[in-house]
Amino acid sequence: MGIVVWCILFAIVIVVAYYATRMASQNKEDGLHDTGLAILEFGRAFPTEAIRQLQTAIDGQAVFVRLHDDKAGFMRNVRNHFSVHLIEPGRAYAKISATGRGLTVDFLDAPHHNGTFEFKTPAEAAEVSLWLLGNYIAGEDAKPQEQASPAKA
């Protein structure tokens, strides 16, 4: 009878270990594909910034964020946490990747995040590059200048 109990306990331990490793690998694969999680994490880091749009890299490990005031943000899955930062105007450089569906981005304030980020389509990469380009414009330059009123006769 004792050997049967030990066999049952051993089988239970094996089943629990199997499910635990499956759940851990699923969490590793998920990354930032869940946009709800990305919104929560960015909101936790920058609660006063209003998110306008998100664009996830194809591997789910990076998300570019377009903010309401035409600033940009960036999130990256770093092992067991998310690194989140705002991209300051003029502090990021981007060029098209070799595949044409991605961007190679250099962050001057966070060089450890430099890399090539691939997207599903070239249009998505172009959209993100526009966010970054819009980020280069100084505050006064981004506002339309008031046109002189016509002279009254």
Task: Walk me through the domains of the chain, giving residue ranges and CATH numbers.
Answer: 35-139 (2.30.29.30)
Q: For 124-137, what is the mean pLDDT? A: 76
Mean pLDDT value of segment 17-25: 78
- Alpha-carbon span 136 to 116, nearest angstrom: 20
Q: How far apart are CA 53 and CA 134, in angstroms?
A: 14
Higher pLDDT among residues 148 and 11, named by residue: 11
Model pTM above 0.75: no
Element (H, E) at 35: helix 35-45
Span 52-100, pLDDT tens digits: 889 999 988 899 999 888 788 999 887 777 889 898 777 888 899 999 8
Mean pLDDT of the chain: 80
Give me the phi and psi of 112, to 5 degrees please. Answer: -70, -15
Residue 132 CA from chain centroid, whole number:
13
Cβ distance 89 to 141 under 8 Å? no
Residue 103: per-residue pLDDT: 93
- Residue 142 and residue 123: Cα distance in Å, rounded? 24
Q: Beta strand 115-118 with 102-107: parallel, antiparallel or unpaired?
A: antiparallel
**Res 57: pLDDT:** 92
